[in-house]
Amino acid sequence: MMKTTKKLKSQPPTVEFAKNDLSKPALPKTEPAKPAPATPVTAKPVAAAPVVVKPPTPVAKPAPTEPVNNKPAPKNVVFLELVKPEAKSVAVAGSFNEWKPDATPLRRLGNGRWVGDLTVKPGRHEYLFVVDGQWLPDPNAKENVANPFGGKNSVLIVSE
């Protein structure tokens, strides 16, 4: 017996290759992303804040501690300076303020400098600095005199 075989006509699978430009790498094709659905936004009216315009605040100028522009100080105004970096408080007491240190405190400027400007009547005055409660003569005074306590007072002469 003879077997007969029928030949089936089959077609080979079709394979397509994409042309590829070798100068560019092949990228997979992707579809653009779909935007997310928009969430409705409801705007609430905002009341505008009232605009208040204030006039400029006047600024007080500090009293000069040294002659300005090298002009001479007005008569009867004396500038005193003491350099004591370790001091916590400095004042001046003398015959011009009845020897009351609380009446004439000096201002700290920095770098250990303490300054004060005094209006003093013309004449000869004795004085001392009071540094943290200790009475000391002025190291910059041109003249010193003995005082009744065994120390020295500095002398200040103010001309008319």
Percent of the chain scored above 70 by pLDDT?
A: 53
pLDDT grade for 27, boundaries at 50, 70 and 90:
low
- What is the value of pTM for the model shown? 0.54
Q: Over range 101-125, report the average pLDDT.
A: 93
pLDDT, tens digit (0-9, with 9 covering 90-100), for 45-73: 555 555 555 555 454 444 454 554 565 55
CB 111 within 8 A of CB 87: no
Domains of the chain in start order, with CATH, are 71-158 (2.60.40.10)
Ramachandran angles phi, psi of 80, nearest 5°? -115, 145
Residue 104 half-sphere exposure toward CB, CA atoms < 13 A: 23
User: What are the Cα distances from residue 51, in Å, to 45, 57, 58?
Assistant: 18, 18, 21
